[in-house]
Amino acid sequence: MGKFLSFVLCAVLLSATSTLALPTPLDGTVVVSNSSRTASGSATMSAIPASETVALASDDPNYVMWNTTATSDSSLQPVRVEGTSSNTMYLQPMRGTLGTTILGQQNMALQAQNPDIIAPPTTDSGVIPGGNIKWPMTLSPMRLQTGGWARQQNINQMPIATSMAGVDMRLEAGAIRELHWHKTAEWAYVLSGNMQVTSVDQDGRNYLGNVGPGDLWYFPSGIPHSLQATNEDPNGVEFLLVFDNGDFSDYSTFQLTDWLAHTPKEVIAKNFGTSLSAWDQLPGEELYIFPGNSPSPGAHVVEDPYGQVLNPFTFKMSNMTTTPLAGGSVKIVDSRTFPAATAIAVAEVTVEPGGMRELHWHPTEDEWTYYLSGTARSSSCLRFDLTLFVYAGDVGFVPATYGHYVENIGNDTLKFLEIFNTDIFQDVSLAQWLALIPPQLVQAHLQISNETIAGFNKTKQVVVGPN
Ligand SMILES: *[C@@H]1O[C@H](CO)[C@@H](O)[C@H](O)[C@H]1NC(C)=O
Ligand SMILES: *[C@@H]1O[C@H](CO)[C@@H](O)[C@H](O)[C@H]1NC(C)=O
Ligand SMILES: *[C@@H]1O[C@H](CO)[C@@H](O)[C@H](O)[C@H]1NC(C)=O
Ligand SMILES: *[C@@H]1O[C@H](CO)[C@@H](O)[C@H](O)[C@H]1NC(C)=O
Ligand SMILES: *[C@@H]1O[C@H](CO)[C@@H](O)[C@H](O)[C@H]1NC(C)=O
Ligand SMILES: *[C@@H]1O[C@H](CO)[C@@H](O)[C@H](O)[C@H]1NC(C)=O
């Protein structure tokens, strides 16, 4: 059936009755992705003429596939696979009348975790340019050291994510991530525990700061620094590092010990004005992460004739007032509140069950997302539409200007970080845009009622509540 015929069918249905029924999975109707509509049920909407150029959007709500409690449409339910435990249900590539079961090999655990990849909503289309837009840190190889570990995500895992890379790092109490520096800026968020960081800038001004869970630090490009866990938490610390280049690798930073292990001792002795024997115990290769004695949280910065860095390299984000929103809350930290952080900005977002980070985009900057807790369904749109489930510990990526949303589909608070390679956080809200232009223009595109448009809030909602 061609588009024209679909349009005629809709027009006939619309002219035959002043109300148009909206089939839902609840009334048992098999909902299809085209514009055929079934006149049954009780939901109504006012009869607005169909567009003269395209068919109407499908009424298929494209609910999540694991939502077995609410739907009576068996084709939307997970399928029991023969020979498996009777209370285990496995999602299959089936949605409505589309698709069928897998007969070949199946990784049941991964299928269950990714229902929207196995059975994409009918609204999905196209392919992702440049590979993954979700990467579970769980799949990144761990680099194990005495005293801690590290794992990373960069363009090797997500080729599309050229603007930022991330490292998840753990240090036991007292352990040190050795003195180092790199070409990228370094931004960090403490996931658990407490840290002490130190640095000296290009003008010889020094810095020493302490951070706890939910706090940040930032070191500009090329500025040397150290990271050490205190013993305020006996378990030490874990933190997320973000770098302003997707090419970054924690395997190729400049390390104090690596450099000196590769410098003639005669040169080292001359440089520091010492005897050769002063360097008898110099490590012969890099240390990277190694155990140490816990620094005192009350330690003072070394007396510096040049004074302290102009802007502190740490920020107590945990102590910042949260902005309450209809469906959650947000804290935004960029160079306006944390002046040192000129290359990375963050929004820490919480979304309560049923709430949603609204449809929006970021006008100039890519978003590197890190999920801290909860379960979300998210999709990005432009040249492709891909809906994904994301979990705590996953990294997401949304190219600049791509529209997206993040919906809390679990029972727990969803919390995540939106991170940008920029100095100022910015976003554009779809609802605010449509609330602030002439309503006739909105109506001409979307064929919605004046009342509906009048209800659009002129204030950016950021996180909306359950419908
Ligand atoms: C729309 O769906 C109906 C019901 O599945 C089918 O009969 C019809 O051929 C479809 N039309 C198009 C254009 O896909
Ligand atoms: C589950 O599906 C029902 C309709 O079948 C819908 O009312 C409900 O909102 C859905 N819940 C979620 C979390 O998608
Ligand atoms: C936390 O914020 C309060 C009030 O805004 C302030 O009085 C206090 O000094 C802050 N504490 C730290 C450690 O920054
Ligand atoms: C949410 O809670 C309900 C009721 O306790 C439970 O049936 C459901 O499985 C939970 N959903 C998730 C995603 O944990
Ligand atoms: C909707 O608003 C437009 C102007 O924006 C007006 O011309 C039209 O009559 C209104 N329709 C209804 C049903 O109120
Ligand atoms: C619009 O949003 C603001 C902020 O969330 C809220 O205070 C206000 O009540 C909303 N207005 C309407 C008409 O919903």
Tokens in use for 372? Answer: 């801290």
Look at residue 24 and give its three-state secondary structure.
coil
Residue nearest to atom 4 of ligand 1 (CA): 32
CA of 67 from ligand 4 middle (Å) equals: 10
34 in any annotated domain: no
Residue nearest to atom 7 of ligand 4 (CA): 69
Please indicate, yes or no, whether residues 274 and 368 belong to a single structural domain of this protein.
no
What are 375-413's pLDDT values in tens digits?
Answer: 888 888 755 667 777 889 999 999 999 999 999 988 899
At 381 the pLDDT is 74
403 in any annotated domain: yes
Across 439-447, average pLDDT: 95
457 in any annotated domain: yes
Q: Is 266 annotated as ligand-binding? A: no
The answer to whether 325 and 463 have CB atoms below 8 angstroms apart is: yes
What are 306-344's pLDDT values in tens digits?
Answer: 999 999 999 999 999 999 999 999 999 999 999 999 999
Please indicate, yes or no, whether residues 145 and 266 belong to a single structural domain of this protein.
yes
Residues paired with 308 in a beta bridge: 206
Q: Is 262 annotated as ligand-binding? A: no
Please indicate, yes or no, whether residues 325 and 223 belong to a single structural domain of this protein.
no
Q: Is 300 annotated as ligand-binding? A: no
Rounded CA-CA distance 228/212 in Å is 12
307 in any annotated domain: yes
Please indicate, yes or no, whether residues 154 and 286 belong to a single structural domain of this protein.
yes
First-to-last C-alpha distance (Å) of the chain:
34
At 105 the pLDDT is 81
At 18 the pLDDT is 31
Find out whether the beta carbon of 46 lies less than 6 Å from any atom of ligand 5. no
Q: What is the number of H-type helices and E-type strands within the chain? A: 8, 28
At 110 the pLDDT is 79
What are 131-178's pLDDT values in tens digits?
Answer: 788 999 999 999 999 999 999 999 999 999 999 999 999 999 999 999
Tokens in use for 369? Answer: 């997302």
The structure tokens 């302490």 sit at: 210
Number of structural domains (the chain) is 2
Please state the pTM of the whole predicted model.
0.82
What are 60-101's pLDDT values in tens digits?
Answer: 888 876 544 433 444 444 544 444 444 445 677 888 788 887
CA of 359 from ligand 6 middle (Å) equals: 17
Please indicate, yes or no, whether residues 161 and 138 belong to a single structural domain of this protein.
yes
CATH number at residue 400: 2.60.120.10
CB 127: neighbour CB atoms within 10 A? Answer: 9
Split at pLDDT 50, 70, 90, the class of 25 is very low
Q: Which of these three, 315, 337, 354, is where a domain ends?
A: 315
Tokens in use for 437? Answer: 């232009």
Please indicate, yes or no, whether residues 345 and 281 belong to a single structural domain of this protein.
no
Q: Which of 29, 62, 63 to mutate to test the pocket of ligand 2 (most atoms within 8 A of CB)?
A: 63
- Kind of pairing between the strands at 206-211 and 94-95: unpaired
342 in any annotated domain: yes
Q: Which of these three, 315, 334, 365, is where a domain ends?
A: 315
Share of the chain residues as helix, strand and coil, in percent rounded to the nearest 5: 15, 30, 55
Please indicate, yes or no, whether residues 260 and 365 belong to a single structural domain of this protein.
no
Helices in 36-126 by DSSP H: which ranges?
A: 108-113, 115-118
Range of the domain at 400: 320-464
Is the pLDDT at 115 greater than 60? The verdict is yes
Which residues fall within 8 angstroms of residue 194, CB to CB, at 6 or more apart?
Answer: 210, 211, 212, 213, 229, 230, 232, 233, 237, 297
Please indicate, yes or no, whether residues 311 and 332 belong to a single structural domain of this protein.
no
107 in any annotated domain: no
Please indicate, yes or no, whether residues 283 and 340 belong to a single structural domain of this protein.
no
For 233, which DSSP code?
A: S
Find out whether the beta carbon of 450 lies less than 6 Å from any atom of ligand 5. yes
Is the pLDDT at 26 greater than 50? The verdict is no
Please indicate, yes or no, whether residues 304 and 412 belong to a single structural domain of this protein.
no
303 belongs to the catalytic site: no
Q: Which of these three, 315, 333, 352, is where a domain ends?
A: 315
102 in any annotated domain: no
31 in any annotated domain: no
Starting from the CA of residue 297, give the closest ligand.
3
Please indicate, yes or no, whether residues 296 and 329 belong to a single structural domain of this protein.
no
CA-closest candidate to residue 157, choices 147, 167, 171:
167
Please indicate, yes or no, whether residues 309 and 336 belong to a single structural domain of this protein.
no
CA of 51 from ligand 2 middle (Å) equals: 29
What are 174-232's pLDDT values in tens digits?
Answer: 999 999 999 999 999 999 999 999 999 999 999 999 999 999 999 999 999 999 999 99
Starting from the CA of residue 212, give the closest ligand.
3
At 7 the pLDDT is 33
Rounded CA-CA distance 361/359 in Å is 7
Residues paired with 362 in a beta bridge: none
Rounded CA-CA distance 286/255 in Å is 7
Q: Is 445 annotated as ligand-binding? A: no
